[in-house]
Every structure is written in structure tokens, then in C-alpha cells.
């Protein structure tokens, strides 16, 4: 076993682990997965190239070895994670977890999370404990295709592999620009990373001096380490910058340069597979129990992850890899997978159906505003609604417009209620993760072209409608990814709002800017329904904190001569935001107000709007 490759695995797992532990210095730690892909492409292709038997026999032998290597530990963690989820995850999340367990068992997690529109690079405390299985899905899907392609074509035409590497890279860069979410999860836009390793495995070994190996190896390590510390989610992934750590890993493998200081990384590389599998569920479970980011959480995760990984490596990985008595045929492995997939899915679903929400005299409202279901709140990659998205009194001569991202959509229920009661016509123009600003934003590290087009169309329509009142609401309690990656984020945000308002031809005195609502430290309904929080009505309360961007809004509104409406006192005291108010959860998730809570503030909103004298 090559120590340099094990050291690469050690670097990859350390970067991923520190990234998930939210070490701010390791901004590009997610690139550890890309390094794993390069290693995998090299190791697998080298093994296939050494085979000299009949093609059918070689393919069967390959899959038998891969099943022994991957399935025991991965399926064991699926079982443990599914069982632990029943005890540590909110009943509200269990049905989703059941599907994730099924997909993870079948190595299709990447496809499942793609359909869920899950943002791996913005994973939060309520993320799936199986989210990290997306990379195993990509890897196993590559294994389904590559051995066949290699034996039937590339083994005799190895010089073609670099060409396919380049074609695959070009395709990935194109797809990232078109649809960054698809590019992140789909296997075809990741194949170039495996092919980088495959290229190294099939070219003639370099006849290099020890000094040359050292220089090339050092360059490779510098490229990877620099990427992990300097790149971030603001860079498109997979994108041009992803090439740096990928080629760095390929260069280290090609140079075959080793030195003793690798030892700690070599040890971590030995347990890297188990460590990768177990660390993320531990993070999610600790988060769900109220353990917040900080040194305590980091020590807990590191300690538990290392302990469980060592046990998995010693008692599951190695015995199945090297003990012939534990060998199973491919059909029997398929049966094991089917049993575990079906059992995990069924068990978690049964637990979800039988779970109690643990709260007395509290209504849990997780419903979304109606515009989510009827297509008026736009999802990613949708530029404009198909219908007119008009509500209230459609014959009214008084038209009001609601514009912004999902934090504008959260105000739709109460505005629709008032529009119906007072015979206004309400037009909803909201889009996920797309603020009503003139500001270029990122989606999975790539410019969100759909958002930019929507912003332009929005200005044109508002100027055409000339509404009696325009409501603007945007999420400003955390950073949107900006194309220019501005260091002075608040100034960039304020410039975006200034440019948006300046582009409007309506009287600025008719514009209402909602102040943003504080962001909870957890998904409120899930927090309230945890077993650990049973009947603890204040367990999920959180501190009333506003970002500098949010706090700058009143001053900016005054400068722009628009009306600033501060809804925070409706839900929070000066220091604290209760999770429950009037017997209902105030937030429907970890960011948005619940429909019931918003509707309960119709009197406050109406009182604030009396100054506009709408007829």
C-alpha cells in the first residue's frame, strides 16, 4: 500500500471534517471529496489494468472486491444512522430521513438530494444525517460504468483516456454554468475527476530523480493545501478552481514521493472511509440536541468520530476485506442491500407514523404560503411565473405588489388576507434565494443567471403596473453569495437595494421595506418536537440578533425616501425571540415565519399602513 496515497486520503478526510466542523480557516474543505475522487480513479484503474484474465472473470472479480470494500461499513452506518435518527431527529423530519436512508443504501443519494434541491455547500443543523452519502452515490455510479468501458475499449487504447478527461472536464464546466446544482450532484460532471486519476494510472511511470519527485510532489501538496484554505463556496463547484486540487492530487500520485512526516496523515488515511461515514451523522445529531458550534462541539465530534471510525475499521472494514470466510457472492450482496434498504426505510417510516409531537396545547404549523403550491413563488432556474399571480379583489383599481425572496413570500398570507378584506388587488413576485435588488448572486458557486433575469423583469413590470404600494422584503440575516465576493458585504447589499429602488419610476413614498426577521439557531418545529424538549416551551427560544446588513436598513430607507416597517417587535423582545407565541410556533422552519404567526399580525400591519390611505 502506497503511503503517499494514504496520506492523500488523510488530507482529504481532515479537510472535509474541519469544513463540516465549521473551522472558518478551512473554507475549501469540501474539496477533500474531489481529492478522494482522484485517488479512487487511480486505484481502481490501476487494479483493472493489472488484470490479465478473461474480461467476464475480471469484471466479476472487480465488483466482488468493491462490494467487500464498500458495503460492510457503509451499510452498517446506514443502519446505525437510521436507528439513531429515531431517537435524535424530530418526528417531522423522519419521513424525509427514511427516503434518504433508502437512497443511501442503494447508492443513489446524490440523485435523491438533487431532486430535493439540497444545497450541500450550505448544509445547516437540520440537514439530513445522510447528506454526505451523495459522494458515495457518485463514486459507485462511476464504478458501474468505468470497468466495462475500460475492459471493452480503453485497455487497448489508453492514450485516449486523457482526451476523455478533457472532454469530461469541458462538459462539467459547461453544466456548472448552465445548472450548478445538477453539475454538483450528477455523476457525469464528476467523471473528469476520476479520469484524472485514471490517466495517471495508465501512463508510463515517470523516470524521475528523487529531487524531481520531491519538487513535483511538493507542488501537488501546495496546490491542494492552498485550495483548501483559499478557495470557498463562492467558487463554482465543480468549476475552474476545482481543477487546482484535482491536478494537485494527480501530481502527488504521479510523483510517488514519500516522506516520514506523512505518518499521522497515513493513519488517518487508513481509517478515512469509516471516518467519512460516521462524522456527519454525529454532527447532525449533536446539533439537533442543542449543541452549538464551538470548541465543545468540535471536541465531541472529533472524539466520537475517531473512536467509532477506529472500531468500524477494526471490526467491520478489515474483517470483511481480508477474511475469506466473510465473502459473499454478488447476488447475496444484492440481497443484503435490499434487506437493509427496505428495513431502514420501513423502520424509520413506522417510527415517524407512531411518533408523538411531545407538545401539549401547542399547534405545530409547518405549512408554506399558498404561492409555493400554485407556482407563483419561483424556484431556482425559473425566470418568471406562467400566470399573473394576482390575488385579493381582482377587479380592484388599487394594486399592491409584494416583491423579494422567500422572506417576502412569508408575508404573503397576511397581505392576501388584507387585500381580500379591503378590496385590493395583490400581485406576488417572489423567488427563492433571489432578493429584490440589482445585485448579482451565486448559486452553488456559479452566477445565478435566472435570478439576474428575474430582477430585471421585476423592475420592468413594477414600472408598468405603477402600484399603489410596493412591499419589498429580502433575507439579510446572513450572507448571500455575491458574484463580486465583496468584503464589505453590507455596502454591496445596500448598493443593490439603492440601484433597484432608483430604477423604479413609482413615487418612492409608496414603497415599503420590511425589516428582516431574526434567524433562529435551529429549525423551530423540529426543535420543539424533539424528545429532549418534550413540554419545554422555552427550549427553542433564541437570542434576538440582527446582522449589520439588517441593522443598516432603517437608515438606508430614510436615505431612499421609502417607508421602513420593522416587524421584529411583533415577534421578539429586545433580547429574545420566543419559539411559541399564542399556542403556535412562530417559525415554520429555521428561517421563515409560520403562516399562522404571520396572519396573527394583520392588525399590526394594517395599523402601520394607515398612513398610505389606500382606497
Confidence band (pLDDT; 50, 70, 90) for 536?
confident
- In this predicted structure, what is the pLDDT of residue 348? 95
Which range has the worst mean pLDDT, 36-40, 172-176, 353-357, 595-599? 353-357
First to last CA, the chain: 79
Domain annotation covers residue 48? yes
Q: Would you say residue 125 has pLDDT above 60?
A: no
- In this predicted structure, what is the pLDDT of residue 322? 84
Which range has the worst mean pLDDT, 81-95, 111-125, 413-427? 111-125
- In angstroms, what CA-CA distances link 499 with 215, 413, 486? 51, 28, 16
Domain annotation covers residue 197? yes
Q: Tell me: do 335 and 458 sit in the same domain.
A: no
Domain annotation covers residue 90? yes
Region 340-353: mean pLDDT is 94
Q: Would you say residue 579 has pLDDT above 80?
A: yes
Domain annotation covers residue 304? yes
State pLDDT tens for residues 509-526. 999 999 999 999 888 998
Q: Tell me: do 328 and 375 sit in the same domain.
A: no
- In this predicted structure, what is the pLDDT of residue 182? 92
DSSP calls for 332-399: HHHHHHHHHHHHHHHHHHHHHHH-----SS-B---PPPGGGTTT-EE-TT--S-SS--EEE-TT-S-E
At 570, give phi and psi (nearest 5°).
-70, -25
Domain annotation covers residue 378? yes
Domain annotation covers residue 251? yes
Could you tell me what percent of the chain has a pLDDT over 70?
A: 96
Q: Would you say residue 24 has pLDDT above 60?
A: yes
Q: Tell me: do 348 and 393 sit in the same domain.
A: no
Region 486-491: mean pLDDT is 84
- In this predicted structure, what is the pLDDT of residue 84? 96
Question: Taking all residues of the chain, what is their mean pLDDT, rounded to a whole number?
Answer: 91
Q: Tell me: do 167 and 279 sit in the same domain.
A: yes
Out of 354, 384, 415, a domain closes at 354
Identify the CATH number of the domain in which residue 489 sits: 3.40.50
Range of the domain at 247: 3-354
Q: Tell me: do 107 and 242 sit in the same domain.
A: yes
What region does 469 belong to: left with phi over 0, alpha with psi -120 to 50, or beta? beta
Q: Would you say residue 481 has pLDDT above 90?
A: no
Who has greater pLDDT, 523 or 226? 226
Which range has the worst mean pLDDT, 269-278, 319-328, 404-413, 582-591? 319-328
At 72, give phi and psi (nearest 5°).
-55, -55
Q: Tell me: do 414 and 332 sit in the same domain.
A: no
Confidence band (pLDDT; 50, 70, 90) for 123?
low
Q: Tell me: do 204 and 244 sit in the same domain.
A: yes
**Residue carrying the nine cell digits 466495462:** 148
Q: Tell me: do 398 and 268 sit in the same domain.
A: no
Confidence band (pLDDT; 50, 70, 90) for 35?
very high
Q: Are 241 and 231 in contact (CB under 8 A)?
A: yes
Q: The pTM is what? A: 0.89
What CA–CA distance (Å, rounded) separates 261 from 246?
22
Could you tell me what percent of the chain has a pLDDT over 90?
A: 70
What cell does 137 get? 452515490
Beta strands in 382-504 (DSSP E): 390-392, 399-404, 425-431, 442-443, 446-447, 469-473
Burial degree of 300 (CB within 10 A; 0-12, 13-18, 19+):
middle
Q: Tell me: do 350 and 374 sit in the same domain.
A: no
Q: Would you say residue 586 has pLDDT above 80?
A: yes
Region 211-217: mean pLDDT is 87
Tell me which long-range contacts 339-343 makes (C-beta under 8 A, separation of at least 24). 340/75, 340/78, 340/79, 340/105, 341/101, 341/102, 341/105, 341/106, 342/102, 343/79
Q: Would you say residue 137 has pLDDT above 90?
A: yes
Q: Tell me: do 344 and 445 sit in the same domain.
A: no
Q: Would you say residue 1 has pLDDT above 90?
A: no
Q: Would you say residue 475 has pLDDT above 90?
A: yes
Q: Tell me: do 383 and 311 sit in the same domain.
A: no
Confidence band (pLDDT; 50, 70, 90) for 360?
confident
Domain annotation covers residue 584? no
Q: Would you say residue 598 has pLDDT above 80?
A: yes
- In this predicted structure, what is the pLDDT of residue 118? 85
Confidence band (pLDDT; 50, 70, 90) for 401?
very high
Out of 312, 330, 354, a domain closes at 354
Q: Tell me: do 553 and 467 sit in the same domain.
A: yes
Rg of the chain, C-alpha, whole Å: 27
Out of 354, 389, 424, a domain closes at 354
Domain annotation covers residue 18? yes
State pLDDT tens for residues 160-205. 999 999 999 999 999 998 888 899 999 999 999 999 999 999 886 6
Number of domains in the chain: 2
Amino acid at each position: 500500500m502506497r503511503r503517499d496515497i494514504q496520506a492523500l486520503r488523510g488530507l482529504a478526510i481532515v479537510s472535509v471534517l474541519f469544513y463540516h466542523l465549521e473551522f472558518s480557516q478551512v473554507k475549501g474543505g469540501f474539496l477533500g471529496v474531489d481529492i478522494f475522487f482522484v485517488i479512487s480513479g487511480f486505484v481502481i484503474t490501476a487494479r483493472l489494468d493489472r488484470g490479465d484474465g478473461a474480461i467476464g472473470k475480471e469484471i466479476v472479480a472487480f465488483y466482488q472486491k468493491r462490494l467487500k470494500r464498500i458495503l460492510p461499513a457503509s451499510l452498517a452506518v446506514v443502519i446505525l444512522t437510521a436507528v439513531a435518527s429515531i431517537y435524535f431527529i424530530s418526528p417531522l423530519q423522519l419521513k424525509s430521513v427514511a427516503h434518504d436512508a433508502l437512497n443511501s443504501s442503494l447508492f443513489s443519494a446524490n440523485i435523491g438530494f438533487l431532486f430535493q434541491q439540497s444545497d450541500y455547500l450550505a448544509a445547516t443543523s437540520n440537514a439530513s444525517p445522510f447528506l454526505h452519502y451523495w459522494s458515495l452515490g457518485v463514486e459507485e455510479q462511476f464504478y458501474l460504468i468505468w470497468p466495462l468501458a475500460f475492459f471493452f475499449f480503453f485497455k487497448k487504447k489508453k492514450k485516449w483516456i486523457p482526451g476523455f478527461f478533457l472532454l469530461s472536464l469541458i462538459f462539467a464546466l459547461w453544466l456548472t454554468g448552465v445548472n450548478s446544482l445538477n453539475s454538483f450532484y450528477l455523476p457525469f460532471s464528476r467523471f473528469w475527476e476520476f479520469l484524472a486519476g485514471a490517466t495517471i494510472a495508465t501512463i508510463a511511470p515517470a523516470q524521475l530523480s528523487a529531487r524531481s519527485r520531491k519538487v513535483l510532489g511538493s507542488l501537488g501538496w501546495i496546490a491542494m493545501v492552498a485550495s483548501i484554505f483559499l478557495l470557498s463556496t463562492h467558487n463554482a463547484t465543480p468549476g475552474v478552481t476545482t481543477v487546482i486540487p484535482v491536478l494537485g492530487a494527480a501530481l502527488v500520485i504521479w510523483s510517488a514521493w514519500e516522506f516520514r512526516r506523512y505518518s499521522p496523515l497515513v493513519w488517518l488515511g487508513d481509517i478515512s472511509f469509516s471516518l467519512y461515514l460516521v462524522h456527519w451523522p454525529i454532527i447532525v445529531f449533536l446539533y439537533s440536541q442543542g449543541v452549538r458550534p464551538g470548541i465543545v462541539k468540535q471536541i465531541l465530534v472529533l472524539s466520537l468520530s475517531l473512536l467509532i471510525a477506529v472500531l468500524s475499521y477494526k471490526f467491520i472494514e478489515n474483517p470483511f476485506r481480508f477474511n475469506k470466510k466473510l465473502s459473499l457472492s454478488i447476488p447475496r450482496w444484492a440481497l443484503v442491500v435490499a434487506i437493509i434498504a427496505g428495513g431502514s426505510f420501513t423502520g424509520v417510516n413506522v417510527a415517524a407514523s407512531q411518533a408523538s409531537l411531545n407538545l401539549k396545547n401547542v399547534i405545530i404549523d409547518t405549512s408554506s404560503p399558498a404561492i409555493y403550491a400554485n407556482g407563483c413563488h419561483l424556484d431556482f432556474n425559473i425566470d418568471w411565473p406562467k400566470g399573473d399571480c394576482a390575488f385579493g379583489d381582482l377587479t380592484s383599481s388599487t394594486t399592491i405588489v409584494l416583491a423579494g425572496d422567500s422572506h417576502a413570500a412569508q408575508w404573503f398570507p397576511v397581505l392576501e388576507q388584507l387585500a381580500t378584506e379591503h378590496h385590493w388587488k395583490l400581485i406576488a413576485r417572489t423567488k427563492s434565494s433571489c432578493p429584490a435588488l440589482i445585485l448579482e448572486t451565486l448559486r452553488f458557486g456559479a452566477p445565478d443567471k435566472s435570478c439576474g433575469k428575474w430582477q430585471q423583469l421585476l423592475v420592468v413590470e413594477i414600472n408598468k403596473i405603477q402600484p399603489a404600494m410596493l412591499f419589498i422584503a429580502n433575507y439579510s440575516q446572513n450572507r448571500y453569495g455575491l458574484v463580486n465576493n465583496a468584503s464589505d458585504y453590507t455596502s454591496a447589499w445596500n448598493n443593490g437595494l439603492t440601484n433597484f429602488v432608483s430604477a423604479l419610476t413609482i413615487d418612492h413614498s409608496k414603497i415599503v421595506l420590511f425589516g428582516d426577521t431574526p434567524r433562529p439557531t435551529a429549525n423551530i418545529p423540529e426543535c420543539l418536537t424533539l424528545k429532549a424538549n418534550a413540554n419545554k416551551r422555552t427550549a427553542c427560544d433564541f437570542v434576538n440578533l440582527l446582522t449589520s446588513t439588517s441593522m443598516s436598513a432603517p437608515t438606508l430607507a430614510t436615505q431612499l425616501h421609502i417607508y421602513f416597517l420593522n416587524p421584529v417587535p411583533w415577534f421578539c423582545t429586545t433580547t429574545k425571540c420566543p419559539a411559541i407565541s399564542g399556542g403556535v410556533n412562530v417559525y415554520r422552519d429555521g428561517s421563515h415565519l409560520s403562516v399562522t404567526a404571520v396572519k396573527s399580525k394583520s392588525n399590526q400591519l394594517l395599523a402601520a399602513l394607515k398612513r398610505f390611505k389606500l382606497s
